Amino acid sequence: MKLVFSLALAALGSSLQAQDSTKPNPLTFSGYVEGYYSYDLNKPVNNTRPGFIYNYNRHNEVNLNLGFVKAAYTNDRVRANLAIGAGTYMNSNYAAEPGVLKNVFEANAGIKLAKTRNLWFDIGIMPSHIGFEGAIGKDNWTTTRSLVAENSPYFQGGAKLGYTTDNGMFSASVLALNGWQRITRVEGNSMISFGSQITVKPSDKMTLNYSTFFGTDKPDSARLFRTYHNVYGIFQLSKVIGLTAGFDIGTEEKSVSDNGVNTWYTPVAILRFTPAEKIAFAVRGEYFRDQNGVIIATGTANGFETVGLSVNIDYLPLPNAMLRLEFRNLNNGDQIYANKSGNAARSNAAVTLSAAVSF
> Biggest alpha carbon distance in the chain?
97
The closest alpha carbon to 324, from 52, 90, 56, belongs to 56
pLDDT at 254 (0 to 100): 93
**Mind listing the pLDDT tens digit for each residue in 92-111?**
999 999 999 999 999 999 99
Q: Which helix (H) or strand (E) holds 356?
A: strand 347-358
For residue 344, what pLDDT band results from cuts at 50, 70 and 90? Answer: confident
Distance between CA atoms of residues 218 and 25, nearest Å: 44
**Mind listing the pLDDT tens digit for each residue in 236-260?**
999 999 999 999 999 999 998 888 9
The closest alpha carbon to 157, from 199, 200, 96, 207, belongs to 96
| Three-state SS annotation for 182-199 | CCCCCCCCCCCEEEEEEE
pLDDT at 22 (0 to 100): 66
pLDDT reading at 13 higher than 50? no
The closest alpha carbon to 117, from 84, 71, 76, belongs to 76
Q: Which amino acid is at 141?
A: W
Quick check: 45 and 59 in contact, CB under 8 A? no
Number of C-beta neighbours around residue 195 at 10 A: 24
**Mind listing the pLDDT tens digit for each residue in 154-167?**
999 999 999 999 99
Beta strand 78-86 with 226-236 is unpaired
What angle (nearest 5°) sits at the alpha carbon of residue 36, between those of residues 33 and 40?
A: 155
Q: Which amino acid is at 312?
A: N
This prediction has a pTM of 0.90
Q: What share of the chain is helix, strand, coil (3-state, %, to 5)?
A: 10, 55, 35
Distance between CA atoms of residues 346 and 359, nearest Å: 41
For residue 10, what pLDDT band results from cuts at 50, 70 and 90? Answer: very low
